[in-house]
Chain A
Amino acid sequence: MKKYILSILAITGSSLFISCEKDDHDECHSCHLELQMADGTIDHDYQIGEFCGEDLHDIEENGYVAAEAFSHEGENFDAGTYTNVHCEEHADHDDHDDHDH
């Protein structure tokens, strides 16, 4: 009887452990634009906010629509669609809580 109980515990316990895992398909990520600066360098510091679920998918697929012109690092950029959107996270050695670009 002990072996039967242990067997049932083994199977059900492991199944629960596997099935209780968090579903991470609907999480949110902070995004930024990749901007071409006047001196030819690429800038990754213009943050456009946090996007979740369908919004995240939409911005990754179609790009970010800037309704108005904006300025960044002293340079002006036109309104329009910016397709070079990045929402990936990178290691930031100095601060674990803020490791977005």
Chain B
Amino acid sequence: MFKNILLLTIFNVFLIHAQNKGYVFDNQGNPLAEVDVFLVDQNLLFKTDLNGIFIIDSIIPLNSYFEFSKLGFKSKIVKFQGKNMNVTLSKLHVELDEIGIQENVTFLGNYKFLNIEKKSLNNNFISSTSLVENLNQLSGVNSIGSGLGIQKVVIRGLSGLRVVTYLNGMRIANQEWANDHSIGFTDLGLGRVELIKGASSLKFGGDAVGGVLYFQDEPFTKSSKPKGFLASKFDNSHFLYSNQFGFKLSKNNLYFNLYGEHTVSSDYRLPDKNYLFNSRFKNKALKLSFARLGEKLQTIIRYQFNNDNVGIPAHDCEGTNEISLDEITLNTIDLTEDYEMKIPYQVINNHLFNIETKYFSNKIKYNFFAGYFTNNLVEFGEKWTIPAFDMELSTINLRLNLNYNITSLDFNTGIQYNRQDNLNNISSRLIPDSFSDDFGLYTTIDFDKDNFGFNSGIRLDYKNIVCNDFNYNKLFNAFNSSFGVFYKINNHLSRLTYSASYRSPHLSELFSNGLHHGTNRFEVGNSNLDIEQSHQFDLKYQWNNDHFGFVLNPFLQLINDFIAINPSDSFYEDNYRIYNYVQYNKVRITGFELKLHYHPHILHNLHIEQSYSFINTRNIDNDSNLFFTPANKIKTKLNFDVSTYNLPIGFKNLSIYHLYAFKQTNVVFYESESDGYAILNAELLFNPIKDLNIIIGVKNLFNKDYTPHLSRIKEVAGGVPEPGRSFNLSLKYDF
């Protein structure tokens, strides 16, 4: 079989043409224009014309899935049966939970069994100041960071190595163990993100005790002319200027996408009008993809480059956290010099190359993926010309997945190989040269008929970790499993999932031994660490009618041999506190998320969504909390679509976002409590001329002085605040 796939990949030169036509209507039989017709397996997007017609001039394999979606309508999945399609979309009043109410196709698995959230990232560039900020609006999701330069995702209180990130199928390994190491890419060219809370994704998540983030590029588009966009944005609290372009070409069944981005940001302004020194950053990114989407065989090749220069703000040379806010802030900003990097700062270069081949036989879909990702992290601490460390982390990922049906059962079986090498380019080092080989086998079974379904799966992982400096060579075996069941009756939907996952210790946790300026500490690994074991129960109940929706999602996660990093009483060079990796016997994380959606009958264009997330963590060994437990939060979003009123200058939409964070008193002894706070953001969308969108927004409207509990500089100077009131202007022109 391997041989056949290889031969087909190499000699994939047959071009077959045919024409498939379809119609999309609403419930009254009116044609629907601008409906997204997404060919899931082909990652190809079409749109309906004014008559609700879409035409696909190539042969589509039988049983391919089409996803039809349009804002304000219930999306629909249709299996292609070889003839023209007539599809009816019904009006959607309650968009409470995109997954669950609507039909969806998700890359991470079947949304009916797994706790998958999906979020569109189309226009994220103009509607959000960052990628992570957008994800932050999801319930149960938080971020660790300091301003826009450093941000990373926290899912139900877990982050770093426990939240595994995939980008177009490739695992992103970018020294994600540290809180000062960001996500590693921007929203450039991205179409959507899927998120699993907890360790339910056996296909992707060998290490994902906390969850999986799966980012997917925009689909390819078929067009006789080149398509693209130009976009710019400005934010006045960071003096941030950012530009993106995109360019798409297609001919026959060949597709080409190219994207670029450049961003510069200075130090951000605090609510008291001072500027946080060295919170500046720069980004350059380039992304290109090429695809040959044939009837039976499809090949996609992608390359992505991302360069970040990130200042590390609130740096405390004394390491004692006893400095004042005045010592780390400026009272004015000089734009001729305050975009330049100052030490300490990081230079990060990421290169991602991958190739994905799909082959569709009559009964089996084969998917072969090969990817290479290299992350070069150079940190300049106390010297301009001599880095504190310069590490090259390279990851090779190979995966073969077979998807097939037997009666009503849908099987996914696969093998996966992951090789990771950590190499130091200089003698000063934080983590020694080391490597790991991870071999995984998995199979999942889904049964879904009418209103009942179940899912079950197992995954075996063998991971070998070698570090010659420590004379370390150890094999870890892990057995992951997952079981989910759902039942729907009328408007009531219930789902229960159990998952068991096992995470091997990471190179950083085993072998770190050095000064880390980004975190102001000296970190010491522990080569005696063993596998971390997690058991999670996740229950979801959902009900909705035309105008009101409700979701309740309690969960319980028990983690044995939880790996953590703790401060000691010792100091390195009298300045930097020494932190040691340790293992707790038993940790318990409990909580629930509640979501409400209200949509008044008299004002169909108005949608109000509210989510509540409550979490409690417990280290049972010493009956205390876990470090960095997120504060409980209420997130409210109001969206008022005014496009039907034909208002001046193309005013189309008003959205308001309110965040209330409760006071966090559940802390460990070396962590301070944090106050509650509320912030309000607002945004206006204009569409003055065809294909031009303008967004004017304000963040932190009331200039609230607040420090989130998960701020990585909360302990410095009594808590460094987040940016004060900021205005932003974004433009995007599609051509």
Contacts and interface: CB of A to CB of B under 8 A. Distances in A.
A48 B40 CA distance: 65
A86 interface: yes
Contacts of B329: 91, 93
Contacts of A29: 384
Given A60-B386, A92-B330, A93-B331, A24 B341 contact: yes
A96 B332 contact: yes
Given A3-B735, A24-B341, A61-B385, A91 B328 contact: yes
Interface residues of B, number: 41
A14 B340 CA distance: 20
B76 interface: no
Given A88-B343, A91-B327, A3 B274 contact: no
A2 B327 CA distance: 53
Interface residues of A, number: 34
A56 B227 contact: no
A92 B261 CA distance: 33
Given A3-B226, A6-B228, A88-B342, A14 B245 contact: yes
B258 A96 contact: no
Contacts of B383: 60, 87
A90 B277 contact: yes
Interface string B373-401: 00000000011111000000000000000
B260 interface: yes
A18 B91 CA distance: 45
B243 interface: yes
Contact of B260 (A2, A11, A93, A99): A11
Which of A2, A17, A91, A94 has the most B CB atoms < 10 Å from its CB?
A91
B722 to A, nearest CB: 17
Contacts of B449: none
Given A10-B245, A56-B385, A96 B260 contact: no
Given A15-B260, A93-B327, A57 B332 contact: no
Contacts of A90: 277, 317, 327-328
B284 interface: yes
Nearest to B343: A88
B334 interface: yes
Interface in B245-263: 245-247, 258, 260-262
B225 interface: yes
B92 interface: no
Nearest to B332: A96
B260 A14 contact: yes
B342 A10 contact: no
B287 to A, nearest CB: 12
Interface string A7-46: 1011101110110011010010100000000000000000
A95 B419 CA distance: 51
B384 A96 contact: no
A24 B384 CA distance: 11
B244 to A, nearest CB: 8
A90 B225 CA distance: 53
A96 B330 contact: yes
Given A3-B225, A96-B332, 19 more contacts: A2-B735, A6-B228, A7-B226, A7-B228, A7-B735, A11-B260, A14-B243, A17-B243, A17-B262, A22-B340, A24-B340, A57-B385, A60-B384, A61-B386, A86-B382, A88-B317, A89-B342, A93-B329, A94-B331
Interface of A: 2-4, 6-7, 9-11, 13-15, 17-18, 21-22, 24, 27, 29, 56-57, 60-61, 86-94, 96-97, 99
